[in-house]
């Protein structure tokens, strides 16, 4: 059992390792320059206050007075919420549509394996980057913060990564649904990226406006690293909602793939 998942997981190892190294290198550089920011945080925070609310909310730019606030703005709100969200949507978009486009899926389905099991095991292969990134990166961030003498709170750093899992699963689920209905992998992947980015922007630009309710459809509304790291508050209801949405997207994706003509 789980032969497909093991095979797909092995295929993701090199890409996951490369992504982890690149992210660690970038984050290490960002953390390395924080001491220079720490010397002038009052001026930086005053500048942040003058920025539009949508910008500050969208990029988590609340305060640079602490390493937690700095990491929220420079690392987590941008890298984890936006870029990793786009990455997992892209990965999910290629799960089925790419094999349909190349014809590989016809050969796989000729073996005694159901469509549902095949799609589910492909989706589960995303556990490789999901677990690796959320295990290695927080350890690296904590170690780097110790090295510069501005130690980040390990508990809330841990919570950021744990609570990012439901959000990233939702992004993966969006990609899976698109992959189940689109014949071309690149179309599913680009469509997923565009959709998640538009949802991110919708959540950002409607903050504290009469249309703020529109942002409730965006998964970014329910995962805010700034609240966790800087304000030390948890939105557990939002986390449960993201888990529910991820489960629904998975079921919908499997059902659509089961019913479609190939």
Give the span between the Cα atoms of 172 and 71, in whole angstroms: 24
pLDDT of 43 reads 53
How buried is 89 (Cβ within 10 angstroms: 0-12 exposed, 13-18 middle, 19+ buried)? buried
Q: What is the pTM of this model?
A: 0.89
Residue that is written with structure tokens 């602490």 in the block? 66
Structurally, how many domains does the chain consist of? 1
Give the span between the Cα atoms of 196 and 202, in whole angstroms: 10
Would you give the DSSP letter of residue 218? S
pLDDT digits (tens, 9 = 90+) for 76-122: 888 899 999 999 999 999 888 887 777 777 676 667 678 888 889 99
Between 3-32 and 115-124, two packed helices, what is the crossing angle to 10 degrees?
20
Give the span between the Cα atoms of 77 and 79, in whole angstroms: 6
Give the span between the Cα atoms of 227 and 146, in whole angstroms: 22
Give the span between the Cα atoms of 151 and 138, in whole angstroms: 12
Where are the alpha helices (H) located in the chain, listed in sequence order?
3-32, 34-38, 41-50, 53-58, 67-71, 84-93, 97-102, 104-109, 115-124, 127-148, 154-181, 185-205, 225-229, 236-259
pLDDT digits (tens, 9 = 90+) for 122-141: 999 999 999 999 999 999 99
pLDDT of 133 reads 96
User: From the CB of residue 29, how many other CB atoms can be counted at a distance below 10 Å?
Assistant: 10
pLDDT at 40 over 80: no
Choose among 127, 134, 148: nearest CA to 30: 148
pLDDT digits (tens, 9 = 90+) for 183-237: 888 899 999 999 999 998 888 877 777 778 888 899 999 998 888 887 778 889 9
- Structural domain containing residue 143: 3-259
Would you give the DSSP letter of residue 96? S
When pLDDT is cut at 50, 70 and 90, the band that residue 260 belongs to is confident
Residue pair 75/194 in contact by the 8 Å Cβ criterion:
no
CA 11 to chain centre: 20
Residue that is written with structure tokens 């903050």 in the block? 207
Residue that is written with structure tokens 């394996």 in the block? 113
pLDDT of 6 reads 86
């Amino acid at each position: 059992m789980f032969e497909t998942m093991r095979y797909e997981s092995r295929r993701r190892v090199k890409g996951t390792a490369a992504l982890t190294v690149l992210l660690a290198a970038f984050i290490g550089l960002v953390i390395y320059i924080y001491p220079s920011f720490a010397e002038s945080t009052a001026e930086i925070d005053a500048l942040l206050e003058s920025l539009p609310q949508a910008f500050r909310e969208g990029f988590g730019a609340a305060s640079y007075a602490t390493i937690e606030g700095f990491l929220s703005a420079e690392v987590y709100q941008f890298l984890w919420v936006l870029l990793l969200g786009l990455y997992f949507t892209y990965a999910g978009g290629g799960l089925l549509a790419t094999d349909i486009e190349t014809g590989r899926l016809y050969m796989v389905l000729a073996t005694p394996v159901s469509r549902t099991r095949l799609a589910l095991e492909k989706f589960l292969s995303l556990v490789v980057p999901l677990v690796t990134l959320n295990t290695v990166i927080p350890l690296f961030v904590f170690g780097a913060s110790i090295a510069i003498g501005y130690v980040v709170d390990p508990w809330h750093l841990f919570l950021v990564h744990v609570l990012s899992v439901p959000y990233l699963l939702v992004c993966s689920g969006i990609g899976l649904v698109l992959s189940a209905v689109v014949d071309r992998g690149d179309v599913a992947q680009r469509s997923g990226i565009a959709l998640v980015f538009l949802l991110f922007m919708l959540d950002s630009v409607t903050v504290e406006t009469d249309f703020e309710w529109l942002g409730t459809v965006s998964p970014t509304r329910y995962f805010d690293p700034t609240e966790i790291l800087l304000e030390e508050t948890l939105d557990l209801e939002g986390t449960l909602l993201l888990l529910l949405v991820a489960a629904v997207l998975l079921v919908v994706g499997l059902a659509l793939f089961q019913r479609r003509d190939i």
